[in-house]
Amino acid sequence: MIALVIVSFCLILIFSLPYLLTDKSKYDRTVFFIFYFSIFVICLLEGGGVNLPSPILGLDELLKWLHLSY
């Protein structure tokens, strides 16, 4: 699964290159790489079997605690 994540992200970088090269803005490239590496880490953790928290389940617990659910 980790191998799949690494291969997928290599492919994502290859296919995103044309859009990054046409866009000459340094800011845009910085934003792209911040997203790229953050999501790469998340996918690696999920692929490695780490139980990542779900925001919806957290909100579900919060709303139930506030008695704001059916």
E strand or H helix that includes residue 50: none
- How far apart CA 61 and CA 39 sit, in angstroms, is 25
Q: Which of 2, 10, 35, 48 binds other proteins (CB under 8 A)?
A: 35
In the complex, least distance from residue 13 CB atom to other proteins, rounded to whole angstroms: 9
SS3 21: helix
Compose the 1-30 pattern: x for residues touching other proteins by CB under 8 A, - for all others.
---x---xx--x--xx--xx--x-x-xxx-
In the complex, least distance from residue 15 CB atom to other proteins, rounded to whole angstroms: 6
How many other C-beta atoms can be found within 10 angstroms of the C-beta atom of residue 21? 9
